[in-house]
């Protein structure tokens, strides 16, 4: 559907395509709604009774799909969809524009995951119902960025003024791009830490550098004592052109108990999951670990977004 904002805080019928479409005021509003809806995530609700969510996943993503489906169930709605392109009519050569114009008859809102950048925006141009981007290409994953912010706010009670490090694969990881954009709307000091070959893309870096202080580096040790948030990402094997290169950088920024010797007492570690070896299992039991709480916050944030775009919350 065409983005059509009556006021900046009107979310009914709105598509959620890119974090870049949000103002800070809008993000703050969404964070507030998530906070208000969190009790409902525990009790359940009939807020979206008789509404249907379609999850169209052209790429496998158990986590994001189940998170949206659980969110919809907790609001009393139902879900339909597919979990991989192979079982879709894609096989028969149908284009995405036709698919969304078909599915909008079946569902009141569509979550789309697609391997191509721009797919969610294209879908939104054709669909009459709201489209939520569940990840497209290597570029955008706006609901992940929003749940990351919600987690930071819940844990720290503020976002402004924090020292935040983004660590690992900053080139291919899609969550980190959306998060960096979102953080650039706040008054944070951002440390971006990666090997040379996995540096954040210039087009992302240029935009956020205009707004906030960004420090780029390849080593992590020296900045650890000042950090409030470590946001660790997986070195994604499947996005690597060269496996030898993958082997080299894997584990370069592994967080373990040794790493945690010189950190602030209330420093927290986030990770979009799944993790592989970037965070040692021994870290899970420390008070720094918050990556499993992030999962819960993801349900809460997605409940908020579904309720907002379907007009169940004003």
| Per CB under 8 A, 276 contacts its own copies | yes
Q: How far is the CB of 35 from its own copies (least distance, A)?
A: 17
DSSP string of 47-71, one letter each residue = TTTT-EEEEEESS--HHHHHHHHHH
Whether 141 is a known active-site residue: answer yes
The footprint of its own copies on this chain (CB under 8 A) covers a number of residues equal to: 54
| Per CB under 8 A, 225 contacts its own copies | no
Candidate ranges 29-37, 160-168, 175-183, 288-296; the one touching its own copies (CB under 8 A): 288-296
Nearest to 299 by CA among 125, 25, 44: 44
Candidate ranges 21-29, 150-158, 233-241, 258-266; the one touching its own copies (CB under 8 A): 233-241
The residue from 4, 6, 36, 80 that contacts its own copies (CB under 8 A) is 80
Catalytic residue among 42, 50, 91, 92: 92
Please say which residue, 186 or 291, places its beta carbon nearer to its own copies.
291
| Per CB under 8 A, 247 contacts its own copies | no
| Per CB under 8 A, 29 contacts its own copies | no
The residue from 9, 205, 252, 295 that contacts its own copies (CB under 8 A) is 295
The residue from 3, 9, 66, 205 that contacts its own copies (CB under 8 A) is 66
| Per CB under 8 A, 258 contacts its own copies | no
Edge-to-edge order in the sheet of strand 268-270: 213-217, 189-193, 163-167, 229-232, 268-270
Q: How far is the CB of 197 from its own copies (least distance, A)?
A: 20
Residues 6+ apart with CB under 8 A from 309: 11, 12, 13, 14, 15, 16, 109, 130, 132
Nearest to 179 by CA among 212, 155, 156, 157: 212
Whether 64 is a known active-site residue: answer yes
The residue from 4, 6, 39, 49 that contacts its own copies (CB under 8 A) is 49
DSSP string of 115-159, one letter each residue = SSTTHHHHHHHH-SS-EEEEEETTTB-HHHHHHHHHHHHHHHS-S
Whether 264 is a known active-site residue: answer no
Candidate ranges 54-62, 185-193, 219-227, 259-267; the one touching its own copies (CB under 8 A): 54-62
| Per CB under 8 A, 86 contacts its own copies | yes
Catalytic residue among 64, 79, 175, 233: 64
| C-beta contacts of 205-208 below 8 A and 24+ residues apart | 207/181, 208/180, 208/181, 208/183, 208/184
Beta strands in the chain (DSSP E): 52-57, 78-82, 109-114, 131-136, 163-167, 189-193, 213-217, 229-232, 268-270
Q: Residue 296, exposed/middle/buried by CB under 10 A (0-12, 13-18, 19+)? A: middle
Which residue numbers are catalytic?
Answer: 63-64, 92, 113, 141
Site residues for its own copies per CB under 8 A:
43-44, 49-50, 52, 54, 60-63, 66-67, 69-70, 73-74, 78-84, 86-89, 91-94, 97-99, 101-103, 105-107, 234, 236-238, 273-276, 281, 292, 295-296, 298-299
């Amino acid at each position: 559907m065409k983005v059509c904002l009556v006021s900046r805080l009107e979310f009914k019928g709105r598509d959620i395509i890119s974090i870049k479409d949000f103002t800070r005021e809008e993000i703050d509003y969404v964070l507030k709604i998530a906070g208000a809806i969190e009790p409902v995530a525990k009790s359940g609700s009939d807020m979206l009774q008789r509404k249907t969510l379609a999850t169209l996943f052209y790429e496998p993503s158990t986590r994001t799909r189940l998170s949206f489906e659980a969110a919809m169930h907790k609001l009393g709605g139902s879900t339909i969809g597919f979990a991989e392109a192979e079982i879709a009519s894609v096989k028969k050569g149908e284009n995405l524009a036709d698919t969304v114009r078909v599915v909008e008859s079946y569902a009141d809102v569509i979550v789309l995951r697609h391997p191509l950048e721009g797919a969610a925006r294209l879908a939104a141009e054709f669909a009459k119902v709201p489209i939520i981007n569940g990840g497209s290409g290597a570029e955008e994953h706006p609901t992940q960025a929003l749940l990351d912010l919600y987690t930071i706010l819940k844990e720290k009670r503020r976002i402004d003024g924090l020292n935040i490090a983004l660590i690992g694969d900053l080139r291919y990881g899609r969550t980190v791009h959306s998060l960096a954009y979102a953080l650039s709307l706040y008054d944070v000091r951002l440390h971006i830490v990666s090997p040379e070959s996995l540096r954040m893309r210039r087009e992302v870096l240029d935009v956020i550098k205009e707004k906030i202080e960004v420090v780029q580096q390849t080593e992590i040790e020296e900045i650890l004592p000042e950090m409030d948030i470590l946001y660790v990402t997986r070195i994604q094997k499947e996005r690597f052109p060269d496996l030898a290169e993958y082997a080299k950088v894997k584990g370069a920024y592994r967080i373990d108990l040794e790493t945690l010797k010189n950190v602030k007492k209330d420093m927290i570690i986030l990770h979009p999951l799944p993790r592989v070896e970037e965070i040692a299992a021994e870290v899970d039991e420390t008070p720094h670990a918050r990556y499993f709480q992030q999962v819960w916050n993801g349900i809460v944030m997605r409940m908020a977004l579904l309720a907002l775009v379907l007009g169940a919350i004003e």
